[in-house]
Amino acid sequence: MDNQSPFLAMQRTETQIKALLRTLDTDLLQPNEKKAVASLRRFSSETRLDIRDYELSETREEQLKKAAAARKGLDRLRGHLLAAGDVFGPADIAQLDAQLEHIKSRVL
């Protein structure tokens, strides 16, 4: 993952999140767990798009604004990932959290 752009790393992480979400039977989840899962799906896509916008910025000023939005989105996504921790295993949560932290460190 070290040589990947933040966008490609986020795209890969989003794919992993969605793969985990596909294994869930949402009918068996509690209402608060369903809400956390839906938020996780939505915020993973939004964060990927924020990072894409950051990478496609044409000026330094625009890049700084997009970087702040991407970092905020990554923090928000990490929060939703931890909130959905009861649904996933601790190893999955730890791996995804580490990947998100790594991506955040690559966004200027």
In the chain, the number of structural domains is: 1
Q: Which residue segment(s) compose the domain that 101 sits in?
A: 6-19+30-106
* Reported confidence tier of residue 27, pLDDT bands at 50, 70, 90: confident
Residues 33-91 pLDDT 10s: 888 888 999 999 999 999 999 999 999 999 999 999 999 999 999 999 988 888 888 99
What pTM did the predictor assign? 0.89
* Pair 29, 87: CB distance under 8 Å: yes
39 within domain boundaries: yes
Place of tokens 């509690």: 30
CATH number of 100's domain? 1.20.1440
Give me the count of residues in the chain.
108
44 within domain boundaries: yes
Contacts of 69 (CB under 8 A, 6+ apart): 50, 53, 54
What is the separation of C-alpha 83 from the centre of its chain, rounded to a whole number of angstroms? 13
45 within domain boundaries: yes
What is the separation of C-alpha 29 from the centre of its chain, rounded to a whole number of angstroms? 21
